[in-house]
Amino acid sequence: MIPKPETIANLSVKEYCFSKKQIKGLVEASQFKWTFTWSFNKGLLLINPPLGRALIEDALLRFLLKKDYELETGNEYKFTILAKF
């Protein structure tokens, strides 16, 4: 059986503001690096820069929807993307 391609993404939470209902952070995967803002009350995810955004957007959104209330400012997390970049 051929192993599925995967990339480990590292997520760092820089700011968690419950009054704004927003999480800001940094995601790194392979040679790519993005900043993100997750407005969890609106379900809105903004990712910058746009270069390579399509590679991370779906996996990051799934991770945030699953874990957003467990995330804490200053902590780092990992999740797997089922693609190789």
- pLDDT of 84 reads 82
Rounded to whole angstroms, the Cα distance separating 31 from 50 reads 15
- pTM summary value: 0.89
Q: Is the peptide bond preceding residue 3 cis, with omega within 30 degrees of 0?
A: no
Q: CB of 77 within 8 A of CB of 1?
A: no
Rounded to whole angstroms, the Cα distance separating 60 from 7 reads 12
Please list the rounded mean pLDDT of every run of 10 residues in the chain (85 residues). Answer: 88 94 95 95 94 91 92 95 84
